[in-house]
Amino acid sequence: MTMRQKLWITVGLMWFGMLVLVGWMALEKRDTLMAERVQSLKSFVASAQTLVQRYADRAAQGEFSVEAAQNFARRNLSALDLDGSYVYAFDGKIHLVYHPKRALGTDMSNFRDDNGVYFYRELKALADSPDDGTLEYTSTNADGDDVSRINYVRYVPAWDWYLAANVYVSDIQHAFWMGVLKMSLIAGTIGIVITLVMAWIIRSVLGDLGGDPRHARDAVQGIAEGDLTRGLTLKSNDRHSLLHAIEGMRQHLAEAPGRRASASTITVGVGQIHSGNQDLAARTDQQAASIGETASSMEQLTQTVRQNAENARQANGLAGQARSTASEGGAMMDQVVSTMQGITDSSRQVTISSV
């Protein structure tokens, strides 16, 4: 059985226990009511016996005649009442000496109840026995329903009277069922309140667990055995239960090897990057050295270019001077030519003149 079923069975057992308790209390109440009613009946008949005995004693003392005393006794018996019950009396021959609904002297020796019991004979035997018991009498009422009555009898030896009275068992049954109804209402109200509280507790406990504890047990056992492939079935809105936490733990453990492999890969990559950085640093140092050498060469080249420029300027100055000298030489040559031309002309003229 699931935990939910077990908890609800506990609630059912609580209801069963309450019903048994109500039934037991009702039976106890019925027995108490019966005992109280029988005791009331005995007290009622005992008071009638005391009344008749007092008149018998007064008659014996000569205060009244026996007949007058008996009439006084009958008159006072008619005034006695116990919740609608009355006292009746019969003598040793089982002839009525007093009955509010029957004629005096009626022979009741052959009277039987609906069960065939010689009722008055049984009453007489009960009064003559040492036991202070009661007799149940069954009859049919005006509505045709069977009714039971409890009878009690006491004996007055002075007049040979048997005084009896009865009470309806139906009154006790009615009081019994009213008590059962009252206790049932009380027990039902308490049971409903307890059931509602238990329903809330069951819902809260199962909500905190996220399901049946056996699922959590199996899942934890599987994780302990290294099986991380069996996932738990959770409710769609379950975010805080024990099963949700166990499922999160399982997933975390299942993903741990992959995260370790990724970490190893990252570590290898970092090592490779570190080696590359070292190579790059070495090459950078070499490039820096080469750049330094290149810078030195460039500096030397700059010095050379600077010297070449200076030499070029000097050469340019010399060229200028050469051009000036050449110009002057040209002019001087022109003068020489002119002079030579003049000399030639002068020589030619001299020659002509000689001729």
The pLDDT of residue 64 is: 87
25/31 Cα distance (integer angstroms): 10
Q: At 299, list the tokens.
A: 């500096």
Per the structure block, which two tokens stand in for 204? 């809260």
Task: Name residue, tokens 């990724």.
Answer: 262
User: Given a cut of 50, is residue 238 above it in pLDDT?
Assistant: yes
Residue 337 clears pLDDT 70, i.e. is over it: no
Residue 55: which pLDDT band, with cuts at 50, 70 and 90?
very high
Instruction: Give the whole-number percent of the chain exceeding pLDDT 90.
Output: 21
pLDDT of 98 > 80? The answer is yes
Backbone angles phi, psi at 146, to 5 degrees: -75, 130
C-alpha to C-alpha distance for 197 and 14, rounded to whole angstroms = 13
The more confident residue out of 345 and 185 is 185
What are the Cα distances from residue 132, in Å, to 85, 151, 169?
20, 11, 19
pLDDT digits (tens, 9 = 90+) for 134-160: 888 777 666 667 778 889 999 999 999
Strand partners, 89: 98, 163
Q: Residue 164 pLDDT > 60, yes or no?
A: yes
Count CA atoms closer than 13 A to 68's CA, side-chain side.
Answer: 7
Q: Give the mean pLDDT of 278-304.
A: 63
Checking if the pLDDT of 249 tops 60, the result is: yes
Instruction: List CB contacts of 226: < 8 A, sequence separation 6 or more.
Output: none
This prediction has a pTM of: 0.52
Tell which wins on pLDDT, 353 or 192: 192
d(CA 101, CA 86): 10
Residue 323 — pLDDT band, cuts 50, 70, 90? low
Residue 7 CB contacts under 8 Å (≥ 6 apart), including other chains: 198, 201, 202, 205
Residue 49 is predicted with a pLDDT of 93
Confidence of residue 354 (pLDDT cuts 50, 70, 90): very low
End-to-end CA distance of the chain: 170
pLDDT at residue 94 is higher than 70: yes
Residue 312: pLDDT above 70? no
Euclidean distance between CA atoms 333 and 340, whole angstroms: 10
Judge whether residue 315 has pLDDT over 80. no
pLDDT number for residue 107: 93
A 10 A CB-CB count for 182 gives 13
pLDDT in tens, 293-304: 655 666 675 576
Better-scored residue on pLDDT, 79 or 264: 79
